[in-house]
Homo-oligomer: A and B are copies of this chain.
Amino acid sequence: MRKVKVAIIGAGTAGLTALGVVRKQTEDFVIINEGWYGTTCAKVGCMPSKVLIQIADDFDRLKKLSVEGIRGVENASVDTATAMQRVRKLRDAFVGNTVKFTDSLPAGKNLNGKAVFLSKNQLEVSLPDGTSEQIEAERIILATGSRPIMPTQWAQLGPQVVTSDNFFELESLPKRVAVIGLGVIGLELGQAMARLGLDVTGIEMADTIAGISDPSIKEKALQLMRHDMQVHLGVAAQLEKLDDIIRVSAGGQSYEVDLVLVAMGRRPNLDNIGLENIGVALDERGMPPMNPETMQIAGTDIYIAGDATGSKAILHEAADEGRIAITNALATLSEKPVGHYAARTPLAMAFTHPNIACFGARFSELEQSNTAVGEFDFNETGRPKVMQETEGLVRLYADKTTKKLLGGEMIAPRGEHLVHQLAWVMQLQTEVADILRLPFYHPNLEEGLRVALRSLAKQLYSPAEVELISK
């Protein structure tokens, strides 16, 4: 049995981050990856979806140009085959940037195979040539990632029913599409297809989209998404294959479509990897007990990171977890003190148009009696009118006692930038009065944040104090 100090299972974002750290300290490691290389983000996630969304944004923008005096774009169309080729071309370049980290490893250090735990320190790796190799590792980084949820019976319906794993392989996009599940992935791709001219029906079992919890933001987001696509909430979908179409039934209605994108969430790849052999009790979802600050699985030398933890699939958090997991794994090997994971302010985004974004605590998590809420509607200031982007709503939450931000939810043009600024001043523990003392350039969208912050200030401070705060 081959012995190594460190085995990393999974060459996604978390695993590759761990690899980057381990290579600086020891050559005594192996990384094992099942199936294709390239991170979920680069191969089937953030990157290809952003390309399609960019094309949809560019195409949809054409509708706004007539009033600006721009002529000759009225009959524009999208060749979705070219669009999908561009998606794959850029995706392949992004994937290339990730696989170079494993491709460059010496022979034997990168195994393309499936790892199964024989015990808490022993792995059996099944290789593509039918052979297998047993490995004993002093420390193991478990970063097996996640995969899209696809009901078994739907998987039998043929190539018209896809997940994000194969959506980007489509040669072109058909006319009618149903999207089952309107979390971030379903909503992003569904709205992008709608803005490319497809007839899109979105179906979501929950009562919200993209994880929004603030009722005002949800209402605004639904209103805006419904400009582009049908949205049905609180209903389950059933699929039926009929000749060359799929019939989707939900909430007493049915839709005949050419393509179904199943976007019902992702599950961690922790099944069928022998976790029952590591000697710890798994919970009802099959998850081992882990310390979220050190990423260690209790009572083992295994550290878990990335989507495998069952957390939200967010790249910078996966990278952070990969780093803290390997740092702690190596620290225990050298008897250094174990580090703890200082989480960044939570950020979540859907790259819809306008962007849906949240930072800090969700509205649903707030203790309402001690929370002040400040709001800004984008039709209130000048620049959104110039941009023809007046649809949007920001809601900020502050603690009435500390007078600091607790979080916020928004659907906002350029929300991807605005939410960074807010998350940053929140993490820096800045009081609302001091945020208002920062510069807000005119005429920028940031001025909208100031409107919401001023509204908070009026609730948090006395009138005399509000007068003193430079508005």
Contact = CB atoms under 8 A, between A and B. Distances in A.
Interface of A: 24, 41, 46-47, 50-51, 54-55, 58-59, 61-62, 64-65, 67-73, 75-83, 85-86, 90, 93-94, 97, 314-316, 320, 323, 342, 344-347, 349, 382-383, 385-388, 414, 416-421, 423-425, 427-428, 430, 434, 437-446, 467, 470-471
B438 A46 contact: no
Given A69-B79, A71-B78, 12 more contacts: A41-B442, A69-B80, A69-B83, A70-B76, A70-B83, A72-B73, A72-B75, A90-B386, A323-B470, A345-B439, A420-B446, A427-B439
Contacts of A85: 69
A420 B438 CA distance: 9
A464 to B, nearest CB: 12
A94 B80 CA distance: 40
A76 B72 contact: yes
Contacts of A387: 54
Closest 6 CB pairs of A and B: A69-B82, A417-B417, A69-B83, A315-B442, A344-B439, A72-B76
Given A90-B385, A94-B382, A68 B82 contact: yes
Contacts of A440: 316, 420
Given A50-B383, A76-B70, A424-B421, A316 B441 contact: yes
A15 to B, nearest CB: 16
A439 B50 contact: no
Contact of A439 (B41, B79, B347): B347
B320 A470 contact: yes
A93 B443 CA distance: 14
Tell me which of A50, A386, A416, A445 has the highest count of chain B C-beta atoms within 10 A of its own C-beta.
Answer: A386
A287 to B, nearest CB: 25
A386 B421 contact: no
A207 to B, nearest CB: 26
A83 B68 contact: yes
A377 to B, nearest CB: 15
Contacts of A443: 41, 46-47, 50, 315
Contacts of A434: 428
A263 B205 CA distance: 59
Given A90-B386, A441-B416, A58 B70 contact: yes
A443 to B, nearest CB: 5
A467 B314 CA distance: 22
Contacts of A46: 442-443
Contact of A58 (B41, B68, B80, B421): B68
Contacts of A70: 55, 58-59, 62, 76-79, 83
